[in-house]
Structures are given as C-alpha cells and as structure tokens.
Amino acid sequence: MNNKLYGNLIFELSKTGRKGYSLPKTDFQHSTSELPKALLRQNEAELPECDELTVVRHYTNLSHNNFGVNDGFYPLGSCTMKYNPIINEEIAAMKTFAGLHPLQPADTCQHALELYYALQESLAELTGLSEFTLNPCAGAHGELTGLMIIRAYHESRGDEKRTKVLIPDSAHGTNPASAAVCGLDVVEVKSLANGTVDVDDLKRLIGECGDEVAAMMMTNPNTLGIFEQAIPEITKLVHDCGGLMYYDGANLNPMLGECRPGDMGFDVMHINLHKTFSTPHGGGGPGSGPVGVREGLEQFLPTPRVVLREDDENGVAFHVETGDYEKTLGSVGNFFGNFAVMLKAYTYILTLGRENIKMVGPLATLNATYIKESLKDVYELPIDGLCKHEFVFDGLKDKSTGVTTMDVAKRLLDYGYHAPTIYFPLLFHESLMIEPTENESKETLDSFIAVMRCIAEEAKNDPELVKTAPHNTPIGRVDDVLAAKHPIVTWRQLKAEQ
Amino acid sequence: MNSQTKQSPLPWGGDGGGFKFFPHTDEDLQAMLKVAGVKSLGDLYADVPDSIRFRKDYDLPEAQSEIELRQLFESMADLNAPLTCFAGAGVYDHYAPSVVQNLIERSEFLTSYTPYQAEISQGTLHYIFEFQSMMTELTGMDISNASMYDGATATAEAVMMAFANAKKATKVLVSETVDPKTVRVVETYAKFHGIDIVKIAQKDGVTDRNDLLAKLNEGEVAGVVVQAPNYFGIVEDFTGFADAAHEQKALFIINNVASDLAILKTPAEWGADIAVGDGQSLGIPMSFGGPGVGYMCCTEKLIRKMPGRIVGMTKDNRDQRAFVLTLQAREQHIRRQKATSNICSNQSLMALYVTIYLSVMGKQGLREAAEQSYAAAHYLCDELTATGLCKLTYQQPFFNEFCVTFNDLKADDILSECADYGIAAGVKIDENTLMLAVTEQRSREEIDDLVSIIKQMKEEKV
C-alpha cells in the first residue's frame, strides 16, 4: 500500500480531444438526429477524456491507496473478512456465465440454472432449512425479504395485528432499519450483563404484547460473539406466542460444522455469501443475501424462482418461474439476484467439500479465542468465557492514558493491519471487535498479538504517538464534520468551490 | 501412524495433508488449544446445548481440486455456448473495453471492505466520488449516492423517499409503460411500507397524459414514476409532467437506462426530482442478470432524505484533500429504525465498472456507442418490417429497442428457432409480439442472419 497519497481525480487528467476507446466503423444509415429534438439532451455530459494508459495508471495508482484482504490481516469484527479464493473469480468471469442474458430461453442456460439450483440446495443443507431464494442482493436486502415473508405468512392467516418485531438491544442497526422499511415496529429486548438476551425481559414483553409479535430477530452467536445458550427456550417462547424466529446470518461462519439455524429453531434466515461463503466484499458490494425458510413457508418466497420440474416437452429441466405463486410476497429485484456472486459461493462450497466445510466454524472460533486469551491481560475483556468467531474488548485495560479505541484502531493501520470494528456493539463505550476468520495462520495471529501489545505499551509510554495515529498511511485522520456540514459530493460542486 | 496423529482433531491429522485454506498444522493446533484453555476444538462449543449440536456430515459433494472444478465448469460451458444477443428488457449486451475487467480484478479493490477506515480506503472513496460525479453528469442532477442494488430497488427506494418527503399522501403513481419487473418490486416494497401504487394508463405505448393529470388531481400523491426509454423501448415526451406533479407537491421520478442518457434528454432537463435506473449498460457483463448496479440521483434539496452511502470531499489533518463517507446521520448504523433506508452497502465494485468504463469511453465514446446502437436497431427494424411478416407494434420514436408484432409467426417459435442458430432473438411481449434490442456489438451480418432465419421460418410454414 502507498504511504503517500495518490490524490488525483480522473477529471483532473482529462484533456479535450483525448480518446480511450475504439469502435468498429459502421455504415448504418440512421442517426439519433431523427429523434424529435425535444427528446434529446441539450447540455452535454462532462465526462473525462483520457487516453487508455492514463486510465490504467490512474486506477492502478488509486488501488494502491486501498487495503484489501490480499494486502494483510483484516480482523474486522462482524464482517468475516475471509480469503476470497482466486479461482472463484475465474469461474464467475467465464464467458459462458458472464455472457448469459437473464431472459434467454431456459433450455439455452440449463448449466447456469443447475448451478443456481445446486446452491439453493446446498444452503438448505448447511442451515437445516427447507428452501432458499437467492434473489436478495445483500444482507440487508435479505433481512427485508425475510421480514416480508414473515408478514406475508401472518397475513395469509388473517392475523393482521402482528406488527411488532422483538430485537435485542445488542443487534446491528440494519435489523431495526429493515423492520421499519417492512412497516414493522421495533421492540427492544434487554441484554443481561453477560451480553446475552435477558429471557425474563423477553417473557415480560411477550406477556405485554405477545399477540402482536410478528417475529424475533437474532444473530447466534450474538454481536458479542457469544452463543445464546438459551436459544431453545427463546424460540419456544416466541413460537408459543405465535411469532416466528428470524436468524440474521451475519454470524453464521462459526456455526459451520457445529450447529444449524434450522436446528436451533429458526424459521427464516438470510446468509451473507460475502461473509461465510468467501465472496469478495468489493469495497462495499456486490453482496448476496439468500433467504431460507423452514418447511411450510416456501409459498411466501419471492419470485422469480428457479425450480426443477418435469414437463412433457423437455423431461426434467430447470425453469425460471414468475407466475403461479399465489402467496408469494412479490419481487425484490430486477431478476434473480447476483448470479456471479452465487457462482463464486458455489465454487467455494465445492472447493471445501463436506470434509473441510465442517472445519470452518471450529478453526474460526479457535483463532478468535487464541487472540482473546493472548490479549486479555492488556485489553479490557468485559465478558469472559467462551466466544465464537469474534469477541469484543472494551478498549485498553489501562484507561489512565486517555488512549481510546479509535486511537488503537488508527495506530494498527500504521503497522499494516486493517482496524477491528470499533464502537460496535453499542453495549460498551470503547468496543473493539475482533474477528480473525479461519484462514489466518498462527504466525499472522502472533504478529498481530505482538503489535496489539506494543500499542498498549506505546499508550503508556508515548500516548501522543497513538493519539495522533496513523502516521504511515496515505492520509491522516479526516475531518468528518467538514464533509457533512458543507457536502461536496461531485466534481461539478468541487470545481465550483475552486 | 504414531499416537499423536490419531489424537489430532484435524481431519487430515498430522500427515501433512492439510487443506489449502486452513494454515493450521497439527503443532499449531496443539499450541493454540493450550492457550485457548481447552483440550479439543469440540470443547470450544461446550456452550451449545447438546440437543441442537450438528453431529452428522453435511450431505454435500466431496472437496474438488482446481483441476476437477475446471473440468466441471468447462464441460458445462461446452454444452451452452453464449448466444448472439438481441435480448434487452433492462439488461443490454454492450461492449466493455478490456481495461475495465482487468482493473476491476485488482485485489486492492476487490478484497477490501466498505471504506469506513478512510486512511486506507482512499482508492475506493476516490472512485465512488468519481462515480457520483459521472452519474450527475449523465442525469444532469445535483447529487448522486454511491449506488444501489439495481434499477428496480433504486426505484422502490425513490418511491419510499417521495413518500417520506410528502406531508399528507397515501399513494404514488406509476406509469404502465414502466418495466413490469420494476413495477413488481415497487409494488412489493410499497405494500409492506403502506404506500398505495396507482397505475397511470398507457396509450399507444406511452404514458397517457390525461390519465396522469386526472390521477394527480385526485390528490394525496407523493410521487410520479415514469421510464425513458420505457419498457417497450419508446422514448416518451414528458413535457409538462414535472410541473403537474409539483403542483400537487408530488416528486417527479424518472427511471432511465444509463447509457442512453448520452443522447436522451436528461431527468434534470425534464424537471425530475429523483433520477434512478440501471447502470448495467455502462460496462457491466450481463451475468444472467446480476450483479448490475442501480443509481440514484436527486436535487440538492433532497440530499438528506437520500438512502444509501454518499462520499464527500474533506481534508485530513495533514491538510490534504481527502474523501470520506458522509451524511451518515441518515443511515441505519446511526439511526437504526429511523434511518432513511435499511441499505448498508452499495454495489461498490459494480460502480467501479461504470466509472472505469466512462473514463475510457469519455463523452465522445459514450455518444458513439449510443449512436451505433441506435443506428443498428433502426436498421434491424427496417429489415424486419420490410419482410412484410411483422409491423412495428407502436408508431413511436424508439432508441435501441423496439417491439414488432408478427402477422402469424409466434414469438415463442421465433425464440426457439433462433436459439438453435445461437441467437437470443429478443424477449417475448405477447403471443405474436417480440421485443428486440441492438447494441454496438451487433454487426450487419448478425442482424441480416437474424432476419433471414425469421424469413425462412415463414417460408417453411408456407
């Protein structure tokens, strides 16, 4: 990675008359000047004009300002920054897949539909649920889809007043946000001092409004990386009051090989393929958020659906179906999801196979536990005990130095690590959430542990050094307030400022 | 085998036969378990009640080597050669210069997370700023966000944004000429969000102006949604739509195919408040429909009501120009259930496709590709209608996609016959109507082939 900023914008490299493309000569007789003038744009789009090499250098240089999993250790809690296998990219880019049009006849794309179907089936097996839709494009999109399924289920039974969703106070912000978009009201469930759901508080809430509960949303392990041991009791309480259990698959990784959401009693869940199934985060997308349901809820899944069906003409074949699902919640995207991402996930499943996939959870958990145990004498571990794939420190143990979690995170950048997730979950003031994933070696973890200890030392001996970090990155800390107070979000605005 | 190997908790034991994504040797494992304070990996799950532990093997295939994987996928590929594509309906077979795919694969972009740590994410933040800038240039609007999942969800988000913006409104009007796939998504979101979707009738393939005005006059309208080119490929005239919507305090929302904005009147010029659509036509492979990218642009006034990520300019403590995720007070991780949307990512890498594509094509290349698509589509239309087998379904101006209705050939038969020749002949609209799209990738020869196959079908029928 750069330690000096490459700071150009492509617009600043543009020069009128430069060209970065070539197109074939054509001799068709038509031109858009035939269109009524009222339908044509009057103001030209000021797009950059650059030669090809300038463009190549620009984006190559920009990439050097970035830090990816391939650059170094990325212990970003709740994000599961595992290795993104190279072969996945090659498979997804094959012309036979990348060149498919989503509406071409089904008998010309049986291969793609077969893989799509196989992934649906594999996810059902891995989670202990009945059927999956792969249509949602991201985790949050999956959550929304899952909640729509739940509402469609209640409405199909004429149970219109179930508009409340129980969500633990430790939950990620998307849970309540998805509930709100789905037209549901959020009821917060308290956590105990040990970070798990307060079952007594849950009982109280169910006593107050049990007949209005549409669902309870949970991750397990929860956002602290702690397994909710009371899950059988919790699912029973919610089911008994007529609600459904929603599993946020953000923390599915440590469960691989050990425990399936369906067996825990969950009815609906989403999976982040970009976490558990190794597809790249791409700087914030594209993700993929398949949603699974238990038996009996399949009819509410969104359309289109990819099914295996027998007909007179073709025998057994794969089909994309949109009609004939009377109880479907509707559609949540243009077509049937982020297909290229699914190919990567399925390639990953095949690469691991049944013998290796069951080791993912235990090794991810071992790696997290190893870091936790190696650092808990210098960082504050608010909740001791078993963790799963991640855990949370509440800042440095020694609070007298004034060095905050933010400072520790920024100092880590100087040492060539991505920062952990900070100030989440909101249960602690100085949350520092670490998730190493199963792909990291003992040597990588040992180096990270050594650096974390070194930063703790620096905090004692030279706190200013840590408070003013980072020092070795392309830029220093940024002024967030300036950006929000006077938003400049386009080149046009930027030019007007100059 | 020695006794130590037998005790190994790893499936590959101590025999050096590890798995390529797990670096743990047997020795590492023993040392790490000791630090973890447990005897076995299973002990790390002692807190999981026995009744719900998974003790079986997954019913999945065995691990495949890269050689086997390649054989598997290549054997599938052999059976399904890509088709010469005349299908559109939201996904278009435009050409992306090699530069685009090559730069996309740089792992610093590909394997990075959402750019929360601005100090080590300026690469991502720069290109998102460029993407936002380019989308505002194309649409003419003031502001763009960092991208959405796709055009359909972007439209649904725009509808919710209009609803949140309105004081007293219950419904949003959507033209019948909007892509039915988009409408289905809008209706799904709206149903759960408590918004009524009312359709504006179409007349001769375009939005019926009188019906729009009548429905606006009924009041309680938060927004009006139209599309250009519309679902049938027609370029509609929206003159007066914005004023009529604004008179009722409704927002005017236009959905476009992004690449066509090189030529077509912009949402800003039509007076739109929100511009949304698919950006797939700007350098993104069709990939069976995804991932693509949605975009959303709006007027400056609406910036704080916009969903999704937004990147803004600022300074760092070394006085350098820098970029950062901004206006986060709108978002779910701060506002939870009061956020403008639940979206927490964008389609970042797909926005990068668009940004690099637009950088190499530039304003001239984008126009040229659009001109060529227009010219080739009109040539195909001329040739098809000249056969006397079909006529243009709607006598309206179109861009690079159009509908033809056949006198007696069936759309299904044409699609299936052409598929045998390796051609995706379009998308079926009804029994005798086919919608065809043409891009700069289609040569005169390919177009002539398509026409002659259809002609031959007629002759065989006779």
Is B75 part of a structural domain of the chain?
A: no
Is B70 part of a structural domain of the chain?
A: no
Work out the average pLDDT over B363-375: 97
Q: Tell me which residue of A331, A162, A290 sits closest to B190, measured CA to CA.
A: A331
pLDDT tens for residues B162-175? 999 998 899 999 99
Of A1, A41, A440, the CB nearest to B265: A41
- Return the pLDDT at B14: 45
Domain boundary among B334, B357, B380: B357
- pLDDT of B7 > 70? The answer is no
| Structure tokens belonging to residue A428 | 């602690």
Q: Does one domain contain both B352 and B375?
A: no
Q: Does one domain contain both B328 and B386?
A: no
Residue B160: list chain A partners with CB under 8 A: 181
- pLDDT of B4 > 50? The answer is no
- pLDDT of B432 > 90? The answer is yes
* CB pair distance less than 8 Å for A139 and B344: yes
CA distances from A498 to A492, B132, B135 (A): 10, 19, 21
Tell me the C-alpha distance between A273 and B314, whole Å. 33
Tell me the C-alpha distance between A371 and A433, whole Å. 11
Residue B29: list chain A partners with CB under 8 A: 366
- pLDDT of B17 > 60? The answer is no
How confident is residue B335, by pLDDT bands cut at 50, 70 and 90? confident
Q: Does one domain contain both B350 and B372?
A: no
Number of H helices, E strands in chain A: 16, 12
The CB density around residue A296, as the number of other CB atoms within 10 Å, is 10
pLDDT tens for residues B344-363? 778 999 999 999 999 999 99
Strand-pair partners of A165:
A186, A215
Q: Does one domain contain both B346 and B317?
A: yes
Of A29, A84, A144, the CB nearest to B111: A84
Residue B397: list chain A partners with CB under 8 A: 34-36, 39
pLDDT tens for residues A368-427? 999 999 999 999 999 999 999 999 999 999 999 999 999 999 999 999 999 999 999 888
Contact, B356 vs B196, CB < 8 A?
no
Domain boundary among B341, B357, B373: B357
Of A87, A114, A489, the CB nearest to B132: A489
Contact, B394 vs B428, CB < 8 A?
no
Give ipTM to 2 decimals: 0.97
How confident is residue B8, by pLDDT bands cut at 50, 70 and 90? low
Give the CA count within 13 Å in the CB-facing half-sphere of A467. 9
Tell me the C-alpha distance between B163 and B194, whole Å. 10
- Helices marked H in A172-282 — which ranges? 174-181, 199-209, 231-240, 261-264, 273-276
- Return the pLDDT at B51: 96
Contact, A256 vs A276, CB < 8 A?
yes
Residue B265: list chain A partners with CB under 8 A: 38-42
Tell me the C-alpha distance between B386 and B391, whole Å. 9
* Structural domain for B289, as ranges: 98-357
* CB pair distance less than 8 Å for B237 and A38: yes
Residue B69: list chain A partners with CB under 8 A: 87, 91, 347, 350-351
Q: Does one domain contain both B143 and B215?
A: yes
Is B433 part of a structural domain of the chain?
A: yes
The CB density around residue A18, as the number of other CB atoms within 10 Å, is 16
**DSSP code, position A307:** E
CA distances from B325 to A35, A480, B129, B330 (A): 41, 8, 10, 12
How many domains does chain B fold into?
Answer: 3
Q: Does one domain contain both B163 and B15?
A: no
pLDDT tens for residues B48-59? 999 999 999 999
Q: Does B19 touch chain A (CB under 8 A)?
A: yes
Domains and CATH numbers, chain A: 10-63 (no CATH), 87-349 (3.40.640.10), 359-481 (3.90.1150.10)
CA distances from A34 to A37, B57, B231, B363, B399 (A): 8, 65, 21, 20, 10
**Could you tell me how far CA B57 lies from the centroid of its own chain?**
38
- Return the pLDDT at B9: 55
Is B76 part of a structural domain of the chain?
A: no
- pLDDT of B6 > 50? The answer is no
Is B251 part of a structural domain of the chain?
A: yes
- pLDDT of B2 > 50? The answer is no
Q: Does B3 touch chain A (CB under 8 A)?
A: no
pLDDT tens for residues B220-278? 999 999 999 999 999 999 999 999 999 999 999 999 999 999 999 999 999 999 999 99
Q: Tell me which residue of B93, B148, B81 sits closest to B287, measured CA to CA.
A: B93
Q: Does B462 touch chain A (CB under 8 A)?
A: no
Q: Does one domain contain both B420 and B351?
A: no
Of B35, B235, B331, the CB nearest to A374: B35
Q: Which segments in chain A show pLDDT lower than 50? A: none
Length of chain B: 462
Is B380 part of a structural domain of the chain?
A: yes
- pLDDT of B332 > 80? The answer is no
Q: Does B395 touch chain A (CB under 8 A)?
A: no
- pLDDT of B10 > 70? The answer is no
User: What DSSP line would sit under B232-289, residue for residue?
Assistant: TSB----TTHHHHHHHTTPEEEEEEEGGGGGTBPPHHHHT-SEEEEE-TTTT---GGG
Q: Tell me which residue of A472, A356, A448, A435 sits closest to A72, measured CA to CA.
A: A448
Least confident of A236-245, B2-11, B305-314: B2-11
Q: Does one domain contain both B382 and B341?
A: no
User: What DSSP line would sit under B297-341, residue for residue?
Assistant: EE-GGGGGG--S--EEEEEBTTS-EEEEE--GGGSHHHHGGGSS-
Tell me the C-alpha distance between B240 and B251, whole Å. 13
Of A107, A351, A483, the CB nearest to B69: A351
Q: Does one domain contain both B301 and B353?
A: yes
- Return the pLDDT at B1: 36
Contact, B297 vs B144, CB < 8 A?
yes
* CB pair distance less than 8 Å for B63 and A352: yes
Q: Tell me which residue of B226, B246, B238 sits closest to B182, measured CA to CA.
A: B226
Q: Does one domain contain both B10 and B33?
A: yes
CATH code at B301?
A: 3.40.640.10
* CB pair distance less than 8 Å for A115 and B369: no
Q: Does one domain contain both B232 and B348?
A: yes
Q: Does one domain contain both B189 and B322?
A: yes
* Nearest chain A residue (CA) to B26: A442
Please report the sign of the dihedral spanned by the C-alpha atoms of residue A480, residue A482, residue A483, residue A485: positive
Give the CA count within 13 Å in the CB-facing half-sphere of B172. 29
Residue A55: list chain B partners with CB under 8 A: 99, 356, 359-360
Q: Does B445 touch chain A (CB under 8 A)?
A: no
Mutation for B interface: A18, A233, A365, A478, most B CBs within 10 A: A478
Domain boundary among B357, B378, B400: B357
**Phi, psi angles (nearest 5°) of residue B354:** -60, -45
- Return the pLDDT at B339: 79
Q: Does B180 touch chain A (CB under 8 A)?
A: no
Residue B62: list chain A partners with CB under 8 A: 353-355
pTM above 0.95, yes or no: yes
**Phi, psi angles (nearest 5°) of residue B431:** -50, -45
* CB pair distance less than 8 Å for A476 and B314: no
CATH code at B423?
A: 3.90.1150.10
Q: Tell me which residue of B82, B81, B87 sits closest to B438, measured CA to CA.
A: B87
